[in-house]
């Protein structure tokens, strides 16, 4: 939420909290509360988000002041509690996991005619992150449970899903371009595969094993390391399963 995409921000800023009836007021998704509060904060702080402890406390207080009250006592509104509990998302940039970043930086993303589908998609993802994604991975389109009317929740869900579909389309365009660059047939990696790849990209891992021929050949074994691992007192070490 530190940098909401355009349609999400437009939707969040469309709420006039002062004019809402009490039922709607306490069912506006906390995402809208936070985006509005961040927008107002930046307007009065030279475009900057809260960064110090005192600023973050002040930011939360600005949210609490919008909560309705009766004779000076705040009305219980769960969406405001959720907004306060998730306020850190406003000033915490969504960073790419270091393991995922290491895959994006892998030399295998320098494609050749021998590159397999996975590395072509990784290279396309890297291109997306460096252009349309502005340093971020594709949106997966999922939103958590939160206090909201069914109508407002579905509105928010559709906005996220639409952006996720747009991100997949952008990654797919990079895939097609890269397929052409290595002499592969257009469409040889289909859209459904790219969609699944984008959805799971935050959790992707690369595990490299030795070729089977080396595994079956005693000539390539590192005997010193094997002895060291077998002598270890770690009963859960993978070496015991390997042997």
Quick one: pLDDT band at residue 238, thresholds 50, 70, 90? low
Average pLDDT over residues 88-102: 94
Confidence of residue 224 (pLDDT cuts 50, 70, 90): confident
pLDDT of 179 > 90? The answer is yes
Q: Which long-range contacts (CB under 8 A, 24 or more apart) does 97-102 make?
A: 97/202, 99/205, 100/137, 100/201, 100/202, 100/203, 100/204
Please report which confidence band the pLDDT of residue 146 belongs to, taking 50, 70 and 90 as the band edges: very high
102-124: average pLDDT: 96
Instruction: Indicate the average pLDDT of the chain.
Output: 90
Stretch 228-240: mean pLDDT:
65
Alpha carbon dihedral 146, 150, 154, 155, in 10-degree steps, equals -100
Q: What is the mean pLDDT of residues 223-237?
A: 68
Distance (Å, whole) CA 203 – CA 216: 31
Q: What percent of the chain has pLDDT over 70?
A: 89
Give the mean pLDDT of 128-157. Answer: 95
Mean pLDDT for the stretch of residues 52-79 = 90
- Banded pLDDT at 226 (limits 50, 70, 90): low
Extents of the domains making up the chain: 1-94, 95-208, 212-242
Predicted confidence (pLDDT) per residue in 6-23, tens digit: 999 999 999 999 999 999
């Amino acid at each position: 939420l530190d940098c909401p995409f355009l349609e999400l921000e437009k939707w969040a800023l469309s709420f006039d909290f002062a004019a809402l009836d009490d039922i709607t007021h306490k069912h506006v998704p906390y995402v809208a509360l936070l985006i509005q509060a961040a927008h107002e904060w930046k307007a009065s702080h030279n475009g900057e988000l809260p960064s110090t402890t005192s600023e973050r406390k002040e930011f939360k207080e600005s949210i609490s002041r919008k909560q309705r009250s009766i004779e000076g006592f705040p009305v219980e509104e769960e969406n405001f509690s959720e907004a306060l509990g998730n306020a850190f998302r406003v000033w915490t940039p969504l960073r790419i996991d270091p393991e995922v970043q290491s895959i994006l930086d892998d030399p295998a993303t320098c494609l050749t005619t021998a590159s397999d589908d996975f590395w072509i998609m990784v290279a396309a993802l890297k291109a997306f992150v460096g252009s349309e994604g502005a340093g971020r991975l594709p949106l997966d389109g999922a939103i958590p449970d939160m206090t909201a009317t069914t109508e407002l929740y579905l509105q928010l869900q559709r906005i996220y899903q639409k952006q996720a579909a747009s991100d997949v389309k952008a990654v797919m365009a990079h895939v097609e371009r890269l397929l052409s660059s290595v002499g592969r047939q257009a469409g040889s990696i289909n859209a459904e595969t790219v969609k699944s790849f984008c959805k799971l990209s935050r959790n992707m891992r690369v595990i490299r094993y030795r070729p089977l021929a080396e595994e079956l050949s005693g000539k390539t074994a590192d005997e010193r390391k094997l002895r060291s691992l077998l002598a270890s007192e770690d009963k859960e070490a993978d070496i015991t399963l390997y042997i």
